[in-house]
Amino acid sequence: MNIDIRSYIINNFKDDDKDMLKESIQDSIKDNDEEVLPGMGVLFELLWNNSNDSLKEEVLDILINSIKNS
């Protein structure tokens, strides 16, 4: 069976509002469940692909600092 994870994740959130999306992200992080990592990756990909260079730089700074402080 061939599953398109990106399409599945995107369609799963299509009808969510900002609060619902935020809650889903926070619950995924709180639960520390590795099964949600592909979904989080899809959300990150959407963020990255739809960000300008300035926001990408800010995200990279946050990630680098977070990695170094972990």
Domain coordinates of the chain in residue numbers? 5-68
pTM: 0.86
**Residue 34 pLDDT level (bands cut at 50, 70, 90):** very high
28-57 mean pLDDT? 95
Q: What DSSP element (H or E) covers 2?
A: none
Using the predicted structure, report yes or no on whether residue 2 has a pLDDT greater than 90: no
R_g over Cα of the chain: 14
- pLDDT-derived band at 56 (thresholds 50, 70, 90) equals very high
